[in-house]
Amino acid sequence: MRFLARRLVFYLVALLVAIVLNFLIPRLMVGDPVQLIIARFQGRIEPSAVDAIKATFGFVQGPLHEQFFTYLSNLLQGNFGPSVMNYPVQVSQVLGASIGWTLRLVGTATILSFLIGTLLGIVAAWRRGSFVDGYVLPFLSVLGAFPYFWFALMVVYVFAFNLRWFPMSHASDISLRPDWTSWPYVSSVIEHAVLPLMTILITSVGGWMLGMRNNMIGVLSQDYIVMAQAKGLAERRVMLTYAARNAILPALTGFAMSLGFVIGGALVIEIVFSYPGVGFTLLQAVGARDYPLMQAIFLLITLAVLVANFLADVAYVLLDPRAR
Amino acid sequence: MAVKLVDEPRLKVRNLQVEYHTRRGIVRAVQDVSFDVYPNEVFGLAGESGCGKSTIAHAVTRILKPPAYITGGEILCNGTDILMMGTETLRRFRWEHMSIVFQSAMNALNPVLTVGEQIIDAIQAHVLTPKKQARQQALDLLQIVGIDPGRIDSYPHQLSGGMRQRAVIAIALALKPELIIMDEPTTALDVVVQKQIMQEIRQLKNKFGFSILFITHDLSLLVEFSDRIGIMYAGELVEVSPSREIFQNPRHPYTMRLMNSFPTITGPRQDMLGIPGAPPDLVSPPSGCRFHPRCSVALAGRCQEEHPLLKTVSPRHEVACHLAESEAVKHGG
Ligand SMILES: Nc1ncnc2c1ncn2[C@@H]1O[C@H](COP(=O)(O)OP(=O)(O)OP(=O)(O)O)[C@@H](O)[C@H]1O
Ligand SMILES: [Mg+2]
């Protein structure tokens, strides 16, 4: 428990540093960023928006620390100010819409990929030289070596453009009203998710598999595995509780990292499939120099990485008695 | 100390041959080795590093994995050949009749399971036992090997080296086997703990009446603890004898050198290091007697060409040496 408490303090400090940086960067920029924003919009931006943007950046009257506390209390209330490109819609609303898509698509893909890859890695190590080890592993590793935007484009070209099995872009049929209780809508969401999901899965599963296989092989040469077999334990118990339980520990950190990058990580996939997630939104925000939106996304990514790391620590403590 | 040799041996190893198939060639790690271990007996196995002691231990428990292959011989435990057993028969036989204690206790325990769970695992793999009852047995076993039963829910890293080794012994004892193979069971421990544990093992042996195949580097421990001793050189057994006799009257030049490099039983401990030359490469061992290149009394012709076999030189004392033979003749005549 002391271990977790220490980690938690560390993450809180890291978060605070990120917030301070986020607060300082606009102030360190040459010129006045708010003026820059306004200039970019040459009259197309309303004066009330300017004030709102200023306010959320904390550009209020008063000394720096007062500005910071204004900024901090805005953050805590989830108030990131209005999005410039979607004015007067709030940044929090823009993000609220896109974050769900990203979490569902990329989150599912990351977790599935880890589970499938780990399972395949266990099997490959346990049955060395078998079909899974000799053919599936090299095949998936090669797929994982492809640049995945290229892979995404190929998938779109073949399965969406040529074969027309799946839709090419967006997260759902735009003609349908979003309603999670209606089957046509839900099924259209699933249909739209298949290709991006498969792309992420296929390009990432090989990495997990290879890592787990190698960890497993290291563990399998340990005396406690030989002893477990000699004791007469069932094969499954030796494979899972004696071997895999130990082999998975080094993989947890990597898994946490990739979970943390779920929010911003599938940028390319979202762009190729015009999937309205955070990555896609970030691209648009950059194009439109929507600083409030960008800053909120960066902060969100930081937060996600920290939370994922903390979850990994919790998992570590649960799985490895030495960490307790 | 006195062991009745009229009993049927618990373990009978006959002409055992083990090879490692490596890229360099075939390593003949164990060559035509035969010995017996009798009920309630401690049979010690000693020899330089790499002479094949662990290979024998692993062959006897059939835990060798490729590139190791058993290419000949028989291993009879309680009269049945372990090498002929099917997977399920072997799975049941092992641990119920014969178990093994590994050299390094840290590596022999699964770091993510408690000591209790690892003992209970062994029990439940063989006897249908309710969890509660298995746990009670585990508590008893811990008590027996000198661990506070309150440590049953401890993880291996929470135990000291000595306690870990005791836990491994508790696991080996879980099904009260008639034979326990101990491959350097205490080398990782300091001398005091080593002594304690060996004494406890002896007490347990007398209490439960199992036999031990005991492998060690430590000559004083070997002589003190074993009833009979087998000396190995380069994959072969070169001398087998009751331990007192081999200590007082070693007959093989290799054994003599070992004993020379080891002054008194109560004196300072010494490992077997004091022999000039290096052990031979087991891919292409020397012709004739494998020890002849390092032997100071080797005969020019015979020892280089003729391979000596184990011969009885006095009651219960066997030696594989051309010179020892002739000496025996001298003594006899
Ligand atoms: N996996 C392996 N592959 C190839 N050769 C091996 C392998 N394991 C052991 N050997 C060889 O077999 C011979 C016997 O090894 P073994 O481990 O039985 O020796 P040992 O007497 O137990 O030595 P030590 O006292 O160092 O434990 C050695 O020459 C070693 O080089
Ligand atoms: Mg060894």
CATH number at residue A188: 1.10.3720.10
Residue A282 forms part of a structural domain: yes
Closest residue to atom 11 of ligand 1, CA basis: B29
- Distance of residue A124 Cα from the nearest chain B Cα, in angstroms: 17
- Rounded to an integer, the average pLDDT of A64-75 is 84
Least confident of A122-136, A198-212, A260-274, B171-185: A260-274
What is the Å distance from ligand 1's center to B55 Cα? 6
| Residue-wise pLDDT tens digits, A2-20 | 888 999 999 999 999 999 9
Residue A255 forms part of a structural domain: yes
B111 touches chain A (CB under 8 A): yes
Q: How is residue B5 written in tokens? A: 């040799």
What is the Å distance from ligand 2's center to B32 Cα? 18
pLDDT of amino acid B303: 85
Please tell me the distance from the alpha carbon of residue A7 to that of residue A160, in angstroms, as a whole number: 46
Which domain range does residue A215 map to? 92-289
Parallel/antiparallel/unpaired status of strands B25-37 and B11-22: antiparallel
Residue A298 forms part of a structural domain: no
Phi, psi of B237 (to 5 degrees): -85, 120
- Rounded to an integer, the average pLDDT of B71-93 is 91
Least confident of A152-161, A273-282, B321-330: B321-330
Flag whether pLDDT at B15 surpasses 90.
yes
pLDDT of amino acid B97: 94
pLDDT of amino acid B332: 38
Beta strands in B60-141 (DSSP E): 68-77, 80-81, 98-101
- Rounded to an integer, the average pLDDT of A115-126 is 95
Phi, psi of B322 (to 5 degrees): -60, -35
Q: Which ligand is nearest to the CA of B102?
A: 2
Residue type, A156: V
pLDDT of amino acid B293: 86
pLDDT of amino acid A163: 85
Q: Which residue from B minimizes the CA distance to A318?
A: B112
Residue B234 CB-density burial (10 A; 0-12 exposed, 13-18 middle, 19+ buried): buried
pLDDT of amino acid A13: 95
Please tell me the distance from the alpha carbon of residue B207 to that of residue B216, in angstroms, as a whole number: 23
Q: Residue B333: which pLDDT band, with cuts at 50, 70 and 90?
A: very low
Residue with tokens 């309630």: B40
Picking from B112, B176, B179 by the largest number of A CB atoms within 10 A of its own CB, the best residue to mutate is: B112
Please tell me the distance from the alpha carbon of residue A138 to that of residue A160, in angstroms, as a whole number: 27
Most informative mutation of B20, B48, B102, B213 for ligand 1 (most atoms within 8 A of CB): B20
pLDDT of amino acid B139: 95
pLDDT of amino acid B330: 46
A11-46 core/surface letters (b: 16 or more CB in 10 A; e: else):
beeebeebbeebbeebeeeeeebbeebbeebeeebe
pLDDT of amino acid A30: 63
Least confident of A21-35, A116-130, A309-323: A21-35
Instruction: Residue B126: list chain A partners with CB under 8 A.
Output: 232
Q: How is residue B52 written in tokens? A: 């094949």
Neighbouring CB atoms inside 10 A of A105's CB total 25
Flag whether pLDDT at A154 surpasses 60.
yes
Q: How is residue B241 written in tokens? A: 């004898």
pLDDT of amino acid A41: 64
Contact yes or no for A90/A78 (Cβ under 8 A): no
Flag whether pLDDT at B265 surpasses 60.
no
Residue A119 forms part of a structural domain: yes
Q: How is residue A136 written in tokens? A: 């599936």
Flag whether pLDDT at A152 surpasses 60.
yes
Flag whether pLDDT at B314 surpasses 80.
yes
- Rounded to an integer, the average pLDDT of B152-167 is 91
What is the Å distance from ligand 1's center to B53 Cα? 8
Mean pLDDT (chain B, rounded): 86
pLDDT of amino acid A58: 58
Distance of CA A312 to the CA centre of its chain: 14
pLDDT of amino acid A75: 86
Least confident of A39-43, B45-49, B274-278: A39-43
Closest residue to atom 29 of ligand 1, CA basis: B50
Residue A41 forms part of a structural domain: no
Picking from A126, A215, A219, A227 by the largest number of B CB atoms within 10 A of its own CB, the best residue to mutate is: A227
Q: How is residue A288 written in tokens? A: 């439109």
Mean pLDDT (chain A, rounded): 85
Flag whether pLDDT at B266 surpasses 60.
no
Q: Residue A267: which pLDDT band, with cuts at 50, 70 and 90?
A: confident
Flag whether pLDDT at A59 surpasses 70.
no
- Rounded to an integer, the average pLDDT of B134-161 is 92
Residues 130-169 of B with CB under 8 A from A: 155, 157-158, 168
Q: How is residue A86 written in tokens? A: 């979607």
Report the C-alpha dihedral over residues B114, B116, B121, B127, rounded to 10 degrees: -170
Closest residue to atom 28 of ligand 1, CA basis: B50
Higher pLDDT, B189 or A134: A134
| Residue-wise pLDDT tens digits, B198-220 | 888 999 999 999 999 999 878 88
What is the Å distance from ligand 1's center to B25 Cα? 14
* CB contact (8 A) between residue B113 and residue A230: no
Please tell me the distance from the alpha carbon of residue A172 to that of residue A178, in angstroms, as a whole number: 8
Flag whether pLDDT at B268 surpasses 60.
no
* CB contact (8 A) between residue B110 and residue A228: yes
What is the Å distance from ligand 2's center to B53 Cα? 6
Write down the pTM of the prediction: 0.82
Residue A103 forms part of a structural domain: yes
Ligand 2 is an ion; residues with CB less than 5 A from it: B 54
Residues contacting ligand 1 via CB (< 6 Å): B 20, 22, 27, 29, 49-55, 67, 282
Tell which atom from ligand 1 comes closest to the C-alpha of B282: 29
Please tell me the distance from the alpha carbon of residue B17 to that of residue B71, in angstroms, as a whole number: 5
- Distance of residue A229 Cα from the nearest chain B Cα, in angstroms: 8
* CB contact (8 A) between residue A322 and residue B99: no
Sheet holding B68-77, edge to edge: B25-37, B11-22, B68-77, B80-81
pLDDT of amino acid B321: 87
Contact yes or no for B50/B279 (Cβ under 8 A): yes
pLDDT of amino acid A164: 83
Residue A296 forms part of a structural domain: no
Q: Residue B329: which pLDDT band, with cuts at 50, 70 and 90?
A: very low
Selection from A6, A36, A30 nearest residue A316 by Cα: A6
Flag whether pLDDT at A289 surpasses 50.
yes
Closest residue to atom 19 of ligand 1, CA basis: B50
Least confident of A42-46, A154-158, A192-196, B122-126: A42-46
* CB contact (8 A) between residue B104 and residue A322: no
Selection from B109, B214, B216 nearest residue B154 by Cα: B109
B79-107 core/surface letters (b: 16 or more CB in 10 A; e: else):
eeebbebeeeebbebbbbbbbbbbbbbbb
Selection from A52, A115, A143, A108 nearest residue A244 by Cα: A115
Residue B168 CB-density burial (10 A; 0-12 exposed, 13-18 middle, 19+ buried): buried
Number of domains in chain A: 1
* CB contact (8 A) between residue A237 and residue B61: no
pLDDT of amino acid B326: 57
Report the C-alpha dihedral over residues A117, A120, A121, A122, rounded to 10 degrees: 130
pLDDT of amino acid B3: 52
pLDDT of amino acid A73: 87
Closest residue to atom 1 of ligand 1, CA basis: B67
Q: What percent of chain A has pLDDT over 70?
A: 92
Selection from B180, B303, B301, B331 nearest residue B238 by Cα: B303
Q: Under 8 Å CB-to-CB from A257, ≥6 apart: which residues?
A: A305, A308, A309
Residue type, B155: Y
Per-position DSSP letters for B266-287, written without gaps between them: SS---BS---SS-PPPTTSPPS
Q: Residue B273: which pLDDT band, with cuts at 50, 70 and 90?
A: very low
Residue with tokens 């092992």: B94
Neighbouring CB atoms inside 10 A of B206's CB total 10
- Rounded to an integer, the average pLDDT of A186-190 is 86
- Distance of residue B28 Cα from the nearest chain A Cα, in angstroms: 22
Q: What percent of chain B has pLDDT over 70?
A: 91
Contact yes or no for B143/B173 (Cβ under 8 A): no
B176 touches chain A (CB under 8 A): no
pLDDT of amino acid A257: 84
Instruction: Residue B97: list chain A partners with CB under 8 A.
Output: none
Selection from B195, B247, B244 nearest residue B2 by Cα: B244
Instruction: Residue A241: list chain B partners with CB under 8 A.
Output: 110, 112-113
Neighbouring CB atoms inside 10 A of B258's CB total 25
Please tell me the distance from the alpha carbon of residue B323 to that of residue B310, in angstroms, as a whole number: 12
Flag whether pLDDT at B173 surpasses 60.
yes
Please tell me the distance from the alpha carbon of residue A230 to that of residue B81, in angstroms, as a whole number: 17
Q: Which ligand is nearest to the CA of B50?
A: 1
